Structure 1
Amino acid sequence: FFFSHQEVVSEESEEESNGVNLMEFSDEILLHILSYVPCTDLVLNVRRTCRKLATLCLDKSLTHTVLLQKDYKVNKDKVKQLMRDIGKEIYQLNMAGCYWLPSSTIDHVTRCKNLVKLNLSGCHVTSLRLSKMLSTLQHLRSLAIDVNPGFDASQLSSECKATLSRVSELKQTLYTPSYGVVPCCTSLEKLLLYFEILDRSREGFMLSGQLMVGESNVPHYQNLRIFYARLAPGYVNQEVVRLYLAVLSDRTPENLHAFLISAPGSFAETGATKNLLDSMARNVRLDALQLPKAWINGSGLLQHLKFNNPFYFSFSRCTLSGGHLIQRVINGGKDLKSLTSLNLSGCVHCLAPESLFRKAEDDIDSSILESLVVSCCNLRHLNLSAAHHHSSESLGNHLCQLLS
C-alpha cells in the first residue's frame, strides 16, 4: 500500500494532538511531580525552562524544606546560588553528612534569615563559624551539630547565645568531652545526645572524660521533656554522660516524659544515677523508658516509677523474669493500651515465671504471654529476638497462636 505525503503528515499531527503535554496538568499534580526533584535542580535549572515552571518551582511547598544530605552533585557554588535565590524562603535546611562540601559552605546559611530547623550533623563546624552563623538566625528552634576537638564555647558571641537560648530541640554528637552548646540552650525541651568519643587519641594517648566545669556552663534542663543518649563503646563516653546526668539528678524536670539511654556492654550504676532514678520515681510520670541493663537488674526500680500513657518500653538484655514482667511492668494486668512498642530482646527468662534453673528448652508460661497480650492490646512492635523461647506443643499455647 502507498500513502501520500499529506496523509502521513496528517496522521503524525493527529498523534501529536492526542499526546499529553506536561504543562496541561493541574498545578497540584505538577507540584507533586516537582517535589521529587532536588531543590538545587528546581531553583537553578528547571525554573528557567518556562514561565509556569518558574512560578511553580518557587512555591512555598517546594522551598520551605531543603534537603541537601543526599544531593551528591551539589557543590559550594550551587549552594551559594541556592541561598542567594531562595534563602529567605527556607524554613528547614538539612545538610547532614554533606562531607563533600568545604566547611566554608556553612557561611552561606546566614542568608536563611527565617530558618526554624537546621541540621549540620556530619559537617565540621568550628565554634567561631557556628557563632557567626547562629548570630543571624533569630527564629531557629531546632539544631543538630557535631562537637569536635577544639570546640570552645567561650568563643560564642552574645548574639549566638541569644539564638541558642530560644532553641527547644537539640541533637548533639560529641567527638570530644564537652557540654557543647547545651548550657546555652536554656529553653530545651528535647535533647538527643550521641557520644562517639574515642578512648585514645590518634597519637595513642589515653583520653579522660573529665571536663573543666564552671557554674556558668552547666546545662539547664528545667523545661526538658525528652532526654535521649546513645553511647558508643568506651569508658570515656560513660564518664561524660554521667556528667550530663549529674545535673539531672540535682533537679529533675517535672515535665520529663521520655528518658532513654542506649549503652552497649556494661554501664554500671553510680550514686548519682541512683539519685536521679529515685528523683524520677518521686517527681515525674514517664511515657517512654530505656535504661542500661545494670540499672534494672536486681533493683526494684520498675515498681516505683510512675507512668502516664506509656508508648515505649525497652528492657533489652535484662535478667527480667516473667514474674517481674507481670508484677513490675504490667503491674498485675493494669491497662496499658497506650503501649505500642516493647523491646524484650535478649531477655531469656521474660516468659518464664522465675529465672532460676530455667533451661532454654523449657516451655514458656502461656499465662504470662496471655497477660501481656490482654494488657497491651495495641502493641505494634514486640521484640523477642535472642530470647530463645520454646513453645508448648499443646493446642492453643504456641507463641504464634497466643500473639495472634
Structure 2
Amino acid sequence: MDNQIETAQCCPDSVSQCSVTISDFSDEIMLNILRYIPSHDLMVSVNRVCQKFRTLCLDKSLTTHIHLHKEYSATDEAVKRLLKEVSGDVRTLNASGCYWLSGSTLEQVTRCSGVVRLDVTGCRVTPTRLSRLLGSQNLRWFSARLAPGEVNRTLLALYLAVFSLSVPSGLAGLVVFVPGPAPPRPGAVAALTERMAAADGSIVRALQLPRTWLDGAMLGRVLAHGCPAYLNVSRCSTPGFNPLHVLLGAGRDLSPLRSLNLRGGKGEETMDGESVRALVRACPDLVRLNLSATHYHHAPPAGQDGHLCRALGCLAHLRSLARRVGVPIYQPCSEDAAHQGEDPAEASCFRPLLEGCPHLAELELIGAGFSSAMPRNEPAIRKDPAACPWSCLIGDAQLAVLGKLRFLRRLTLAHLPGVLKGTGLIQLAQGCKDLQALSLANLGSLKTVNYTQALQEVLVHCTQLRDLRLEQPYFNANAAFFEALAHCRRLRRLCLVSRHGTFQPAAAAAFVQRSTSLIMCHMFMGGTLAACKALQKTLLDSLSASRPALSVVVYPLLHEDLGHVIREMPLCHLDEITLFKSRVAEEPPLLVEEARAD
C-alpha cells in the first residue's frame, strides 16, 4: 500500500496562498479533536491558545463527562482549576485510582452539584470528606471498594443504613466490594435493595455484594422487578446458594443482562452442559462473561456440539471471556491431523469460539487449581500448586490459533504446563497487533523458564502494550529482557513476581529511567532486602519530581513484612495488575451513555 502513495507536485507560491491552519477547521471538527485531549489539559493549556479555543474547551460535549482515571500527569493545581471551570456542567466524574491527588483537591467535587455518577475509588478521601461528597450529590450509583479494616466496614454500614431509610431518587447501581473475609451483612442491605427495586419506574441496573451478603431470596426479589445489566455474584458463599440456578429458575426475562460474573463461591461451582446452553439462550446479548472458577462437566459428545466453546460461540456480542482450563472441555488437536498438514485452526478446540466470537477483546484462560504466589492478605505461597492434567491440552499450537482474534486487547494465560517453547505466543503476538495488557503466569515447566527467548520476541511485537504482568518461579530479569521490553514504548505498568527469580539492578534502573511513559514498576522477586531497597530508592529519588504518579515497589517476595508493603501500595495498581485475579466482568461498565440519555 505504501508504494501506491503518490507525491503531489505543487508550486511553492500556490501552497503559501492556499495554506489552511487549524483555526480554519469547523467547530465540529475541532471538538472531535479536543475529545482526545485529557480534560485537565484542556483547562490548563489548550484554552489559553486563543479565544476560540477557550470557547470550545467549555463546550458541554467536553465538560459533561470528566474522566481522570489513569491521567497520571494531572496535578492538584490542574484538577482544581478544571473543577472550578466546569462545576456547573459535570454530570459524571471518574477520578478512580487518582491516588496522588490530595484530599483537598477531591473536595472541590462538592462544587459540582449536578453530578449523578461519581467514582473516587482508591483516592485519598477521609470519612468526613466522603460524607460531604455523598451529601452534595444526587447519586444514581453507589460503589464502594474497601480496604480490609474494621473502620471501613463500620463506615460502610452507616452509609447503607442512611440509604435504606432514604434511597436517593434514581439510585440504580449498588456495587460493594470488600476483600478478604466478608463482614456480617448489615440489616440495612436487604431493605436498601428492596427499596431500590421497588421504586417507581426504577430497575436495578448493577448489583454486586460481598460473599455472604447476597442469597437466593435477595437476588430473586431484585429479578422480580427487572434484570440488571450488570450482575456480579463472584465468590458468593451463602450456603445452598447457586446463582445460576436462581437466574434460570426465576422465570424472568434475562435478555437485558450484558455483564455476568459467575466466578464461583467457596471451592468451585459445577456447571453442566444444559445449564450453559440455557444461559446462552436466556442471555443472547451477553458482552462480558466470567466462568473462571466454574467447573464444566458433560458426557463425551459426538463431535463438538456439546463442548463449552461451541455453546459460547453462539454469543455473537461477546467481547470479554474468562474461562477455567482443567476440565474435559476441550478436544486436543490430533497429532495425525497436524502431520497431514491440516490447518491448526480447523483442528483446534477453539475453532467454534473463533468463528462465533471473532470480536473478542479480552480473554482469560486460567488452569484449574492455580494460586498466585502473592495473595493479598496471606504470606507468599512457597510451594507451587500442581497443575490439572487437562491443562496440558492447551499448548503452543492452541495459543497460535488465538492469533486470529484480531481485536484482542487484553490476554491472561495462567497455569498452562502444555506451553513449552512459547512459539505459539510469538504467533499470537504477531496476529494480535493491538494487544494492550498481557498477563502470563506459570507457563510450561515451573523449574525453569523454557520460553525466555520466545518471550523476548513477543515483546518486540507488542508495540501497543500498556500493562505487563509476569509471574514465574525462576524468572531472570536480565539486560536482554529489559532490552526487549524497551520495544514496548507505550508501557505504563510493569509487575514481575518470581519467588526464586533474580534481576539486574543496573538494567532495571536504565529501563525505567528511559521509559518515560512508565508510572508503575513493581518487582517481587528473590535477592536481598538491601538490594531491593537500593534499586527502589534510586528510581524514586531520580524520577519522583518528573513523574508525580510514579509507584515503585521492589521487595523480596518471601520477606515476612511483605504484607505491610502491600497495604501501602496504591489500590488501583494493586487490584488491576499487581495481585493476580480474574478481571472479566469484575467492574460494571461505565454508565456514561445512560447518563447522556438522562
Q: Give TM class, smaller chain.
A: 0.5 to 0.7
Shift of 1:103: 1.6
- Counterpart of 1:253 (choices 223, 246, 263) is 223
Equivalent residue, structure 1, for 2:268: 294
Alignment of 1:183-262 (within 5 A): 196-197=179-180, 209-211=182-184, 213-214=186-187, 219-220=192-193, 222=197, 223-227=203-207, 240-245=210-215, 248=218, 251=221, 253-254=223-224, 255-256=226-227, 259-262=231-234
Shift of 1:65: 1.8
Shift of 1:371: 12
Equivalent residue, structure 2, for 1:142: 141
Equivalent residue, structure 1, for 2:132: 132
Distance verdict in 2 for CA 1:224–1:14, change over 3 Å: closer
Shift of 1:241: 0.9
Distance verdict in 2 for CA 1:162–1:85, change over 3 Å: farther
Distance (whole Å) between structure 1 residues aligned to residue 48 and residue 312 of structure 2: 62
Shift of 1:162: 4.7
Q: Write the deviation string for residues 150-186 of structure 1: whole angstroms up to 9, x where unpaired.
A: 2424368969975745321344443xxxxxxxxxxxx
Task: Give TM-score, length-normalised by structure 1.
Answer: 0.62
- Counterpart of 2:239 (choices 271, 275, 285) is 271
Q: Show structure 1 runs of 5+ residues with no match.
A: 1-11, 175-195, 198-207, 230-239, 353-357, 392-398
Percentage identity across aligned positions? 23
Shift of 1:243: 2.3
1:219/1:247 contact within 8 Å kept: no
1:143/1:170 contact within 8 Å kept: yes
Equivalent residue, structure 1, for 2:44: 44
Distance verdict in 2 for CA 1:159–1:20, change over 3 Å: same
Shift of 1:120: 0.9
1:113/1:137 contact within 8 Å kept: yes
Distance (whole Å) between structure 2 residues aligned to residue 169 and residue 383 of structure 1: 26
Equivalent residue, structure 1, for 2:102: 102
Distance (whole Å) between structure 2 residues aligned to residue 360 and residue 64 of structure 1: 56
Distance verdict in 2 for CA 1:37–1:117, change over 3 Å: same
Distance verdict in 2 for CA 1:321–1:344, change over 3 Å: farther
Write the letter of the residue equivalent to 2:115.
Answer: L
Equivalent residue, structure 2, for 1:307: 282
Distance (whole Å) between structure 2 residues aligned to residue 79 and residue 383 of structure 1: 36
Distance verdict in 2 for CA 1:71–1:218, change over 3 Å: same
Distance (whole Å) between structure 1 residues aligned to residue 337 and residue 213 of structure 2: 44
Equivalent residue, structure 1, for 2:121: 121
Q: Write the deviation string for residues 311-356 of structure 1: whole angstroms up to 9, x where unpaired.
A: 355444625346378559699x89946463665441442135xxxx
Larger relative contact order (Cα-Cα within 8 Å, sequence gap ≥ 6): 2
Write the letter of the residue equivalent to 2:247.
Answer: M
Equivalent residue, structure 2, for 1:75: 75
Equivalent residue, structure 2, for 1:349: 328
Q: Write the deviation string for residues 195-214 of structure 1: whole angstroms up to 9, x where unpaired.
A: x33xxxxxxxxxx6442633
Alignment of 1:252-401 (within 5 A): 253-254=223-224, 255-256=226-227, 259-262=231-234, 271-274=239-242, 276-283=243-250, 284=252, 286=254, 287=257, 288=260, 290-292=262-264, 294-296=268-270, 302=276, 307-309=282-284, 311=286, 313-316=289-292, 318-321=295-298, 323=300, 326=305, 336=314, 338=316, 340=318, 343-352=322-331, 373=352, 377-378=356-357, 380-381=359-360, 387-389=391-393
The alignment partner of 2:297 has SS state of coil
Shift of 1:296: 1.1
| RMSD value, Cα | 4.9
Equivalent residue, structure 1, for 2:111: 111
2:92/2:117 contact within 8 Å kept: yes
Distance (whole Å) between structure 1 residues aligned to residue 314 and residue 28 of structure 2: 42
Shift of 1:133: 1.7
Distance (whole Å) between structure 2 residues aligned to residue 157 and residue 213 of structure 1: 8
Deviates more, 1:317-326 or 1:145-154: 317-326
Equivalent residue, structure 2, for 1:167: 171
Task: Give TM-score, length-normalised by structure 2.
Answer: 0.44
Shift of 1:109: 0.6
Distance (whole Å) between structure 2 residues aligned to residue 46 and residue 335 of structure 1: 46
The alignment partner of 1:271 has SS state of coil
Equivalent residue, structure 2, for 1:186: none
Q: Show structure 2 runs of 5+ residues with no match.
A: 1-11, 198-202, 339-344, 368-390, 406-598
Write the letter of the residue equivalent to 2:227.
Answer: L
Distance (whole Å) between structure 2 residues aligned to residue 251 and residue 143 of structure 1: 19
Q: Write the deviation string for residues 249-273 of structure 1: whole angstroms up to 9, x where unpaired.
A: 674523336644445xxx8x65331
The alignment partner of 1:66 has SS state of strand
1:92/1:116 contact within 8 Å kept: yes
Shift of 1:146: 3.4
Shift of 1:95: 0.8
Write the letter of the residue equivalent to 1:323.
Answer: P
Q: Write the deviation string for residues 243-295 of structure 1: whole angstroms up to 9, x where unpaired.
A: 233663674523336644445xxx8x653314x55433321454556342722
Write the letter of the residue equivalent to 1:93.
Answer: L
2:273/2:296 contact within 8 Å kept: no
Distance verdict in 2 for CA 1:90–1:349, change over 3 Å: same
Deviates more, 1:250-259 or 1:35-44: 250-259
Equivalent residue, structure 2, for 1:84: 84
Distance (whole Å) between structure 1 residues aligned to residue 328 and residue 333 of structure 2: 9
Higher Cα radius of gyration:
1
Distance verdict in 2 for CA 1:161–1:24, change over 3 Å: farther
1:361/1:389 contact within 8 Å kept: no
Distance (whole Å) between structure 1 residues aligned to residue 163 and residue 305 of structure 2: 53
Shift of 1:68: 2.1
Shift of 1:26: 1.9
Deviates more, 1:306-315 or 1:91-100: 306-315
